[in-house]
């Protein structure tokens, strides 16, 4: 068996250190993610697809392999995965200023839109109709996701075993297995399958698992509390807070949720129900459902549901603090984990773990696309929209932002025609 590579010797295809690739400007990062924040409809899978179209296909900021590593790293930490992927990309392109710019600019448009809707909701007691808009947008979003899954799959699923993990994740999702179990199971399966002989051959010399993580433990030892602080500290303070409405309690409650939440928007609903409806009693279940609906049909992160709830509880200051609270842990976690991604690639164990998480993620993206298609392709016009978007995207490489805006215009036009006739 060959000796392991030294800590400063990257494997072929490994992602370079972030500092070495931070070669772009903060302005270009901010401009891109501000535009994406205004047009990224459809939830995390659609966001990831649009990110890839922009930063891999059009701009070449990162390779597909690097993009997949960042996507996998985002799945390994709590918080909104697509927003954390944006933060990873900003860091890779423009360093620490890019990290902040990408996250803030992707979140800000959704924050403004949801805040405006919350103000209207507070005044009129209803949410604005968005059916016509989504009627035209959703088929386009499906085409964008399909193109991303196909392109990423060609990079991530070349050997047969990652392909098997992706297919299994796709099938087990529809069998009701939780997505976190699928991600963890895919990573562990590939890690053990690729390193089984290494495990038994080196077991005598590696009685502990410490040497399986080369280069990581020294860094973690210098900042162990950063990994534990957001969730544990915020959870304890939020539990000790009083039930009467205060901005401090509001902020700490959302900070706790952002620090510990894994999973989809459905998991977010469960956390919000438990915290704000049952424990604190600050909003009703009806208000919560309206908040989730608004987060779903507005562009950008679904977690801006927090903006709506914050406004209902404590006005504009509440909206600001709720938004900062739920997204802040994601910035911290990305800042901690991003420098480790290339080092994980240099470890045979953790490299296989990343590949397994990536394969499972692609299987889940494909499953989500099927679910979206069931809900969105409801008649001939929506089927034609999907086909036209796919042709324009794949054959003519039309920017996904313009396709989504075009889908929205078609949806509004067809709705007007239907009302007229």
Last residue of a domain, which of 299, 334, 369?
Answer: 334
| Cα 230 to the center of its chain, rounded Å | 19
pLDDT given at position 331: 96
Range of the domain at 269: 222-334
Element (H, E) at 304: none
Question: Is the Cβ–Cβ distance between 168 and 366 less than 8 Å?
Answer: no
Any residues with CB less than 8 A from the CB of 90 and at least 6 apart, and which? Answer: 29, 33, 98, 99, 100, 101, 102, 103
Structural domain includes residue 29: yes
The two structure tokens encoding residue 188? 């562990």
Distance CA 396, CA 390 (A): 9
Any residues with CB less than 8 A from the CB of 394 and at least 6 apart, and which? Answer: 147
Sign of CA dihedral 291, 292, 296, 301: positive
Average pLDDT over residues 329-347: 90
Please state which of the ranges 96-105, 157-166, 285-294 shows the lowest mean pLDDT: 285-294
Residue 276: which pLDDT band, with cuts at 50, 70 and 90?
very high
Does the pLDDT at position 319 exceed 60?
yes
Question: Is the Cβ–Cβ distance between 356 and 194 less than 8 Å?
Answer: no
The verdict on 323 and 381 lying in the same domain is no
Closest CA to 114 of 294, 265, 251: 294
The verdict on 189 and 83 lying in the same domain is yes
Structural domain includes residue 139: yes
Task: Give whole-number Cα distances, 322 to 240, 307, 309, 316, in Å.
Answer: 18, 6, 8, 10
The two structure tokens encoding residue 179? 């997505």
The verdict on 266 and 384 lying in the same domain is no
Distance CA 12, CA 341 (A): 14
Location of structure tokens 């016509």:
132
The two structure tokens encoding residue 339? 């420098």
Please state which of the ranges 178-182, 224-228, 253-257, 389-393 shows the lowest mean pLDDT: 224-228
Does the pLDDT at position 387 exceed 50?
yes
Last residue of a domain, which of 281, 314, 334?
Answer: 334
The verdict on 357 and 311 lying in the same domain is no
The verdict on 117 and 241 lying in the same domain is no
The verdict on 61 and 126 lying in the same domain is yes
Structural domain includes residue 84: yes
Average pLDDT over residues 383-400: 89
The verdict on 46 and 178 lying in the same domain is yes
The verdict on 177 and 32 lying in the same domain is yes
Structural domain includes residue 113: yes
The verdict on 232 and 247 lying in the same domain is yes
DSSP 209-221: SGGGSTTHHHHHH
Structural domain includes residue 1: no
Closest CA to 190 of 311, 65, 351: 351
Any residues with CB less than 8 A from the CB of 36 and at least 6 apart, and which? Answer: 47, 50, 51, 54, 86, 106, 401
The verdict on 166 and 244 lying in the same domain is no
Distance CA 190, CA 201 (A): 18
In degrees, rounded to 5, the angle at the alpha carbon of residue 118 between the alpha carbons of residues 117 and 123 is 100
The verdict on 315 and 366 lying in the same domain is no
Last residue of a domain, which of 334, 355, 371?
Answer: 334
Does the pLDDT at position 222 exceed 50?
no
pLDDT given at position 330: 94
Residue 164: which pLDDT band, with cuts at 50, 70 and 90?
very high
Kindly give the interhelix angle for 348-376 and 179-202, rounded to the nearest 10 degrees.
Answer: 160
Distance CA 250, CA 314 (A): 9
The verdict on 312 and 347 lying in the same domain is no
Please state which of the ranges 55-59, 205-209, 227-231, 384-388 shows the lowest mean pLDDT: 227-231
Average pLDDT over residues 79-87: 93
Percentage of the residues of the chain whose pLDDT score is greater than 90 = 37
Average pLDDT over residues 365-383: 86
- Long-range pairs for 228-233 at CB < 8 Å and ≥24 separation? 230/255, 230/258, 230/259, 230/328, 230/329, 230/332, 230/333, 231/78, 231/256, 231/259, 231/260, 231/329
Distance CA 98, CA 40 (A): 19
Structural domain includes residue 63: yes
pLDDT given at position 369: 81
Could you tell me what percentage of the chain is helix, strand and coil, using 3-state DSSP and rounding each to the nearest 5? 80, 0, 20
Does the pLDDT at position 54 exceed 70?
yes
Structural domain includes residue 16: no
Distance CA 194, CA 162 (A): 11
Percentage of the residues of the chain whose pLDDT score is greater than 70 = 80
Residue 126: which pLDDT band, with cuts at 50, 70 and 90?
low
Does the pLDDT at position 211 exceed 70?
no
Number of domains in the chain: 2
Structural domain includes residue 96: yes
pLDDT given at position 243: 64
pLDDT given at position 342: 84
pLDDT given at position 227: 36
Average pLDDT over residues 4-9: 41
């Amino acid at each position: 068996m060959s000796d392991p590579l030294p800590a400063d010797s990257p494997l072929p295809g490994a992602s370079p250190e972030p500092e070495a690739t931070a070669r772009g400007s903060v302005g270009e990062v901010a401009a891109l993610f501000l535009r994406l924040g205004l047009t990224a409809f459809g939830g995390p899978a659609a966001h990831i697809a649009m990110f890839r179209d922009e930063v891999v296909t059009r701009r070449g900021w990162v390779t597909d392999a690097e993009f997949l590593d960042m996507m996998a790293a985002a799945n390994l930490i709590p918080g909104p995965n697509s927003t954390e992927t944006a933060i990873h990309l900003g860091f890779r392109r423009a360093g620490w200023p890019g990290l902040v710019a990408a996250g803030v600019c992707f979140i800000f448009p959704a924050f403004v839109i949801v805040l405006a809707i919350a103000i209207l909701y507070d005044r009129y007691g209803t949410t604005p109709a968005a059916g016509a808009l989504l009627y035209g947008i959703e088929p386009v979003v499906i085409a964008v996701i399909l193109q991303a899954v196909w392109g990423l799959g060609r990079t991530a699923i070349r050997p047969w075993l990652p392909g098997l993990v992706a297919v299994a994740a796709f099938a087990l999702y529809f069998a009701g297995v939780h997505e976190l179990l699928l991600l963890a199971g895919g990573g562990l399966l590939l890690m053990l399958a690729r390193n089984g002989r290494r495990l038994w051959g080196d077991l005598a010399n590696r009685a502990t698992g410490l040497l399986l993580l080369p280069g990581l433990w020294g860094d973690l030892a210098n900042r162990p509390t950063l990994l534990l602080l957001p969730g544990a500290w915020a959870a304890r303070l939020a539990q000790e807070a009083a039930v009467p409405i205060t901005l401090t309690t509001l902020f700490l409650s959302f900070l706790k949720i952002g620090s510990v939440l894994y999973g989809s928007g459905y998991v977010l609903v469960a956390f919000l129900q438990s915290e704000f409806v049952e424990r604190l009693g600050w909003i009703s279940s009806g208000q919560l459902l309206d908040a989730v609906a608004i987060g779903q049909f507005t562009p950008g992160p679904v977690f801006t549901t927090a903006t709506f709830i914050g406004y209902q509880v404590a006005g504009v200051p509440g909206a600001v603090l709720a938004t900062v609270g739920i997204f802040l842990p994601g910035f911290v976690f990305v800042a901690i984990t991003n420098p480790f991604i290339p080092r994980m690639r240099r470890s045979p164990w953790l490299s296989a773990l990343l590949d397994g998480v990536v394969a499972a993620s692609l299987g889940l993206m494909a499953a989500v696309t099927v679910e979206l298609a069931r809900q969105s392709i409801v008649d001939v016009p929506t089927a034609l929209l999907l086909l036209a978007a796919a042709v324009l995207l794949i054959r003519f490489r039309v920017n996904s932002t313009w396709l989504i805006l075009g889908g929205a215009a078609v949806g509004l036009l067809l709705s007007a025609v239907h009302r007229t006739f």
